[in-house]
């Protein structure tokens, strides 16, 4: 390529890098704002977006999760956008390093998820089950979220109905939650729950993921491709700056 063509190619890729990372930066800012909103005023958020949006809040604190993801995207977007605009080798290398670390972490998480699903279930059970036992029936919003999840996903507890043994709910009402029995009934005792064999929510969600493995895999592959492309572009700009 002639020097002019090379310069034109460099400028085009630089502009694309700026626009792409500006989008990431704005997206990160949006997620950060929503995360702060959920953390500060979760009830208002649920009123706006409805109970369906709250179905995962029994496992993770969505507000803090969004704040972390939003902050990471803000950093990536800033490094990529400002680094390309200012043609800063230092910022471009930092952008490359951050994206590479995230890429490696995602691969490691995927391997762990595939190989150690049982371990993940054990760890999740050790964390979530005590919270479920302590708060189900006491905390109104927590109880409502679990009820919505169990009803929509057709599951009972995290593992099965025994997650509700020795809980405030069982002591107060003398029955297990109605989704733990088939057909769903208000008089769901231990015998009916055992005979119904309603699976735990962890297994059901895992089954849903396996059923939609193609979609999940496609999304994961798309994200990985974007990350690889971002690293390649940042390295290209970095190397071209060396030659300028």
The pLDDT value recorded for residue 106 is 84
- Local confidence band at 75 (pLDDT 50, 70, 90 cut-offs): very high
The span from the CA of 82 to the CA of 210, in Å, is 40
CB 46 within 8 A of CB 54: yes
The pLDDT value recorded for residue 46 is 56
Which has more confidence, 234 or 213? 234
The pLDDT value recorded for residue 101 is 92
- Mean pLDDT for 210-224 is 77
Alpha-carbon distance values, 153 to 18, 30, 59, 235 (Å): 42, 29, 15, 45
Residue 176 has a CB neighbour count (10 Å cut-off) of 28
The pLDDT value recorded for residue 47 is 56
Which has more confidence, 108 or 7? 108
- Based on its alpha-carbon atoms, the radius of gyration of the chain, rounded to whole angstroms, reads 24
Which has more confidence, 3 or 139? 139
pLDDT tens digits, one per residue of 80-99: 999 888 888 999 999 999 99
The pLDDT value recorded for residue 52 is 43
- Mean pLDDT for 148-162 is 87
Structure tokens, 50: 């409805």
- Mean pLDDT for 204-218 is 74
The pLDDT value recorded for residue 55 is 47
CB 88 within 8 A of CB 82: yes
- Local confidence band at 48 (pLDDT 50, 70, 90 cut-offs): low
The count of residues in the chain is: 244
Query: Whose structure tokens read 């959920």?
Result: 38
- Mean pLDDT for 55-77 is 74
CB 176 within 8 A of CB 190: yes
> Is the pLDDT at 221 greater than 80, yes or no?
yes
CB 30 within 8 A of CB 55: no
Contacts of 185 (CB under 8 A, 6+ apart): 178, 192
The pLDDT value recorded for residue 112 is 74
> Is the pLDDT at 1 greater than 60, yes or no?
no
Query: Whose structure tokens read 């409502």?
Result: 144
The pLDDT value recorded for residue 59 is 41
> Is the pLDDT at 184 greater than 90, yes or no?
no
> Is the pLDDT at 160 greater than 50, yes or no?
yes
The pLDDT value recorded for residue 53 is 47
Question: What's the whole-number average pLDDT of the chain?
Answer: 81
Hey, what domains does the chain have and what are their CATH numbers? 113-229 (1.10.1450.10)
Query: Whose structure tokens read 């704040």?
Result: 67
């Amino acid at each position: 390529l002639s020097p002019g063509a090379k310069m034109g190619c460099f400028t085009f890729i630089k502009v694309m890098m700026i626009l792409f990372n500006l989008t990431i930066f704005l997206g990160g800012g949006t997620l950060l704002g929503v995360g702060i909103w959920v953390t500060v005023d979760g009830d208002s958020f649920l009123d706006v977006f409805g109970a369906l949006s709250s179905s995962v809040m029994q496992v993770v604190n969505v507000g803090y999760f969004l704040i972390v993801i939003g902050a990471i995207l803000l950093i990536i977007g800033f490094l990529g956008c400002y680094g390309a605009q200012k043609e800063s080798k230092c910022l471009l290398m930092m952008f490359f390093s951050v994206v590479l670390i995230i890429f490696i972490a995602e691969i490691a998480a995927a391997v762990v998820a595939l190989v150690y699903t049982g371990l993940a279930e054990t760890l999740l059970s050790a964390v979530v089950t005590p919270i479920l036992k302590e708060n189900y029936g006491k905390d109104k919003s927590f109880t409502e979220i679990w009820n919505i999840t169990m009803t929509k996903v057709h599951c009972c507890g995290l593992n099965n109905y025994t997650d509700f043994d020795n809980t405030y709910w069982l002591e107060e009402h003398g029955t297990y939650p109605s989704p733990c029995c088939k057909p769903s009934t208000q008089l769901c005792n231990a015998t009916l729950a055992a005979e119904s064999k309603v699976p735990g929510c962890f297994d059901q969600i895992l089954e849903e993921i396996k059923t939609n493995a193609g979609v999940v895999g496609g999304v994961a592959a798309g994200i990985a491709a974007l990350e690889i492309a971002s690293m390649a572009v940042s390295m290209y700009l970095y190397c071209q700056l060396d030659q300028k």
